[in-house]
Amino acid sequence: MAVLFRDNVKCIIEALLFAADEPLTIDDICRIVEIDRADAVELIDELKKEYENGNRGLQVVEIADEFGLATKPEFAPYIKRLYKNEKRINSVLSRAALETLAIIAYKQPVSRAEIDIIRGVSSESTINTLLERGLIEETGRLDAPGRPVLYGTTKAFLEYFGLKSISDLPSLDDEAGE
């Protein structure tokens, strides 16, 4: 790829990451820009490094093998001020929702009955809220009487908590020792 063309393609990828409503896969980028996978991976890596090494408020993030632009964590207090007066009902999770979400994240796939046993209370309402927000989804059914629904986390869960994959969750052993 010629240097001038290469820089232009990198700018196009940057513009796509900025304009996209959701993170893009390598395949999306290859299809839109009409380049091969190796070039797309290399250009995204270059963009990542440029954002990391430059004096910029943004970064290239990878979540579940998809890429997007996001503000750097150190600028979160300023972003919060920007949205301070907006009602952000969807951004705040209750203690019950966080508790239920943690159980699902660590034990998935998990049934509502298992969640209820761990929590000691009914989780029906909380599970419905998490389903509505798209943080969890039905992943199948348990091969048991009544065939209860099994739940797992979604890509939106990863995005909400800034995780690349579910394996990025802190280990339960680490948390217990603190």
pLDDT digits (tens, 9 = 90+) for 53-85: 988 999 999 998 899 999 998 998 888 888 765
**b (16+ CB within 10 A) / e for 90-111:** eeebeeebebbbebbbeebbbb
Question: What local confidence, expressed as pLDDT, does residue 86 receive?
Answer: 47
* Rounded Cα–Cα distance for residues 26 and 36 (Å): 9
Over the stretch 110-139, which tens digit does the pLDDT of each residue have?
Answer: 999 999 999 999 999 999 999 999 999 999
pTM for the model stands at 0.56
Q: Which helix (H) or strand (E) holds 98?
A: helix 95-107
Contacts 24+ apart (CB under 8 A), 22-26: 22/66, 22/68, 23/61, 23/62, 23/63, 23/64, 23/66, 23/67, 23/68, 23/159, 24/66, 24/67, 24/68, 25/65, 25/66, 25/67, 26/65, 26/67
Query: What band does 152 get if pLDDT is binned at 50, 70 and 90?
Result: very high
Mean pLDDT of the 154-174 span: 87
* Sheet with 149-153: strands ordered across: 110-111, 149-153, 136-141
* Sheet with 58-63: strands ordered across: 24-25, 66-71, 58-63
Query: What band does 169 get if pLDDT is binned at 50, 70 and 90?
Result: very high
* Rounded Cα–Cα distance for residues 54 and 73 (Å): 15
Over the stretch 11-55, which tens digit does the pLDDT of each residue have?
Answer: 999 999 999 988 999 999 999 999 999 999 999 999 999 999 988
Question: What local confidence, expressed as pLDDT, does residue 124 receive?
Answer: 92
